[in-house]
């Protein structure tokens, strides 16, 4: 365990001494992860398309979790708001988007109709709905202490999930429009963000020059042996990464401004902020609503390529995942959050499965014993393979155990995460810059003259 601490310390020193910007740090870590996954792919015998698809998937999940992490970082890292209802706000974003964009007259009779709005409008509506939900929840809850906000948001997210899975809301009609959540079996996302990409490749949005551009891209991909499906996936991932860059830039500006400074003052000591004339309730509500809108955005792009979303996606696990991202990266640091997302996705979420497949591929792993007692029994007999097989069989469940252990280790050894030690300037100016030279060298007498 001390080696873990040692490695983290080393990484920290590197980060501190690093002369390179945050962007190259993120790109560097991503490249290292790519190398790891290419090695995984090689030992699993992936072809080119398989390799690219695996890297694309890692990048996509990283971008999505980074977005959600940035939203939580605004809540917790900047404002000190303990939001445990992340899954609920994400669900609202996706469902509102899905209902808004579903066709009015669906082709299949079993599909649930919607409002038939264009995809971009649906995305905006989803974000606005999530932000509004955040605002409504925050108004009563923010008057209370932090722990109560946690209870309220936790309850809220469960209410949302259960409502979306209830048969009452499966299909309903308001003002002549029939729509619904699809209940337990989930909602078809007929018009989701990935449709923008598919439309681009299929018809070029009906614009001839764009169509020839998209055909050209497909031909270029084909010429190096990349299939059309993979090309579409890669394009969608690039779109999501672009959105992440925009979100990151926005969060950076929000943090390094008087707005961010006041949020940090509230996090440090709300009473002091009030005594200095800050309307802390208003600012907390703003911060909460903005973050919830971003959670909606992240969820829309996350679910936006699956074609179907189910209420089960928004269990409390999802909330915990986003928290882990922020805790690994270090609360208060946007760059740290993106790094946290990359490490979480590649090592904790996807990594174990790849590792299992690699080991299964390379070693003869016997059939798994039926109980953990049997597995340990044969370990006592000197044969570790049944235990390994058991672990592999139950990997999905054991992943949560691993997450728990990692969480405990971080909180115990490195409560500040990877980059939590670093402070972003709470101003549009760099307040660590040397003092500006003033023209008139006014003495102390004038200092407080107004």
Partner 1 sequence: MSETIESERQTADDPMLAVSNLTKTFSGITAVDGVSFDVQEGEMTGLIGPNGAGKSTTFNCITNLVEPGEGEVVFDGEDITGMQTHDIARDGLVRTFQIARELREMTVLENMMVSPKDQTETALAAVLPGMRNSVRKEEQVMVEQAWETLDFFEIDHLAYEFAGTLSGGQRKLLELARALMADPDMVLLDEPFAGVNPTLEDRLLDRLHELTDQGYTFLIVEHDIDLIMNNCVDVIVMHQGRLLAEGPPSTVRNDERVVDAYLGGEVAE
Site for partner 1 (CB under 8 A): how many residues? 45
Give the nearer residue to partner 1 in terms of CB position, either 396 or 432.
432
- Provide, rounded to whole angstroms, the least separation between the CB of residue 290 and partner 1: 6
Closest contact distance (angstroms) between CB of 392 and partner 1 is: 44
Residues 364-423 that bind partner 1 (CB under 8 A): 423
List the alpha helices (DSSP H) in 304-434. 316-329, 334-343, 351-362, 372-380, 385-393, 395-413
Residue 292 beta carbon to partner 1: minimum distance, rounded to whole angstroms: 13
| Per-residue binding letters, 264-303, with partner 1 (x by CB under 8 A) | xx--xx-xxxxxxxxxx--x--x---x-------------
Question: For partner 1, which is the closer residue by CB, 31 or 431?
Answer: 431
Q: How far is the CB of 433 from partner 1 (least distance, A)?
A: 9
Judged by beta carbon, residue 353 or residue 422, the one nearer partner 1 is 422
- Comparison of 298 and 320: residue with beta carbon closer to partner 1: 298
Minimum Å distance from CB 297 to partner 1? 15
Q: What is the DSSP string of 163-178?
A: HHHSGGGSSEEETTEE
* Nearest residue (CB) to partner 1, 223 versus 448: 448
Which CB atom, from 17 or from 446, has the smaller least distance to partner 1? 446
Q: How far is the CB of 423 from partner 1 (least distance, A)?
A: 7
For residue 447, the minimal CB distance to partner 1 (Å) is 3
For 7, phi then psi, to 5°, come to: -65, -45
- Burial annotation 164-184 (CB, 10 A radius, 16+ → b, else e): bbeeeebeeeeeeeebbbbbe
Question: SS3 of 107, please?
Answer: coil
Among positions 212-271, residues that touch partner 1 (CB under 8 A) are 250, 253-254, 256-262, 264-265, 268-269, 271
Tell me, letter by letter, the H, E, C secondary structure of 4-40: HHHHHHHHHHHHHHCCCCHHHHHHHHHHHHHHHHHHH
| Phi, psi torsion values for 172, nearest 5 degrees | -145, 165
Residue 288 backbone class (left: φ over 0; alpha: ψ -120 to 50; beta: rest): alpha
194 is an interface residue for partner 1 by CB under 8 A? no
Could you tell me the end-to-end alpha-carbon distance of the chain, in angstroms, rounded to an integer? 57
Cα dist from 224 to 35, 39, 44, 219, 231, whole Å: 20, 21, 21, 9, 11
Minimum Å gap between C-beta 314 and partner 1 is 27
**Which C-beta is closer to partner 1: that of 228 or that of 423?**
423
Measured distance CA(90)–CA(157) in Å, rounded? 9
Which region, judged by CB under 8 A, interacts with partner 1, from 46-54, 102-110, 352-360, 427-435?
A: 427-435
Tell the smallest beta-carbon distance from residue 360 to partner 1 (Å). 47
Q: CB nearer to partner 1: give 107 or 446.
A: 446
- For the chain, the residue count is 450
Burial tier of 252 (Cβ tally within 10 Å: 0-12, 13-18, 19+): middle
Closer to partner 1 by CB, 292 or 389: give it: 292
Beta carbon of residue 329, minimum distance to partner 1 (angstroms, whole number): 17
Summarize the chain as % helix, strand, coil (round to 5): 70, 0, 25
Provide the angle, in degrees to the nearest 10, between the axes of the packed helices 228-255 and 334-343: 150
User: Which of the ranges 97-105, 296-304, 314-322, 433-441 carries the binding residues for partner 1, by CB under 8 A?
Assistant: 433-441
Residue 127 in tokens = 């974000």
Residue 229: name the closest of 48, 53, 61 by CA. 53
The smaller minimum CB distance to partner 1, of residues 274 and 360, is found at: 274
* Residues 6+ away with beta carbon under 8 Å from 60: 233, 236, 237, 240, 305
Residues that bind partner 1 (CB under 8 A): 250, 253-254, 256-262, 264-265, 268-269, 271-280, 283, 286, 290, 423, 425-429, 431-432, 435-436, 438, 442, 444, 446-450
């Amino acid at each position: 365990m001390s080696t873990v601490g040692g490695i983290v310390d080393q990484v920290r020193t590197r980060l501190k001494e690093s002369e390179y910007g945050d962007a190259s740090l993120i790109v560097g870590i991503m490249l290292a992860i790519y190398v790891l996954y290419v090695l995984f792919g090689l030992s699993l015998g992936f072809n080119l398309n398989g390799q690219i698809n695996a890297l694309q998937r890692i990048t996509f999940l990283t971008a999505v979790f980074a977005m959600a992490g940035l939203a939580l970082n605004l809540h917790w890292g900047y404002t000190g708001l303990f939001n445990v209802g992340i899954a609920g706000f994400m669900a609202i974003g996706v469902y509102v988007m899905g209902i808004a964009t579903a066709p009015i007259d669906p082709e299949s009779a079993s599909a649930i109709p919607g409002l038939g709005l264009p995809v971009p409008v649906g995305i905006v509506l989803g974000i606005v709905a999530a932000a509004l939900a955040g605002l409504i929840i925050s108004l009563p809850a923010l008057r209370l202490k932090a722990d109560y906000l946690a209870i309220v948001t936790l309850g809220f997210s469960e209410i949302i999930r259960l409502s979306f899975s209830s048969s009452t809301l499966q299909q309903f009609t308001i003002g002549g429009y029939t729509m619904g959540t699809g209940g337990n079996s989930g909602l078809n996302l007929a018009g989701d963000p990935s449709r923008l990409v598919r439309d681009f490749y299929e018809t070029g949005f009906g614009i001839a020059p764009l169509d020839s551009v998209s055909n050209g891209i497909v031909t270029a991909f084909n010429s190096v042996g990349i299939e059309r499906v993979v090309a579409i996936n890669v394009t969608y991932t690039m779109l999501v990464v672009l959105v992440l860059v925009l979100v990151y830039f926005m969060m950076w500006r929000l943090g390094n401004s008087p707005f961010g400074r006041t949020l940090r003052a509230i996090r440090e000591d709300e009473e002091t902020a009030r005594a200095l004339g800050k309307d802390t309730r208003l600012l907390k509500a703003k911060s909460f609503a903005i973050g919830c809108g971003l959670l909606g955005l992240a969820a829309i792009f996350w679910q936006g390529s699956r074609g179907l979303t189910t209420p089960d996606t928004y269990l409390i696990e999802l909330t915990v995942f986003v928290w882990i991202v922020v805790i690994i990266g270090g609360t208060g640091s946007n760059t740290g959050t993106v790094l946290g997302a990359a490490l979480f996705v590649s090592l904790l979420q996807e990594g174990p499965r790849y590792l299992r497949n690699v080991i299964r591929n390379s070693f003869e792993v016997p059939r798994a014993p039926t109980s953990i007692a049997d597995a340990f029994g044969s370990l006592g007999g000197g044969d570790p393979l049944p235990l390994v097989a058991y672990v592999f069989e139950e990997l999905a469940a054991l992943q949560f155990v691993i997450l728990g252990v990692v969480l405990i280790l971080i909180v115990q050894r490195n409560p500040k995460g990877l980059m939590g030690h670093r402070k972003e300037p709470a101003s549009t100016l760099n307040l660590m810059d040397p003092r500006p030279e003033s023209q008139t060298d006014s003495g102390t007498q004038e200092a407080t003259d107004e």
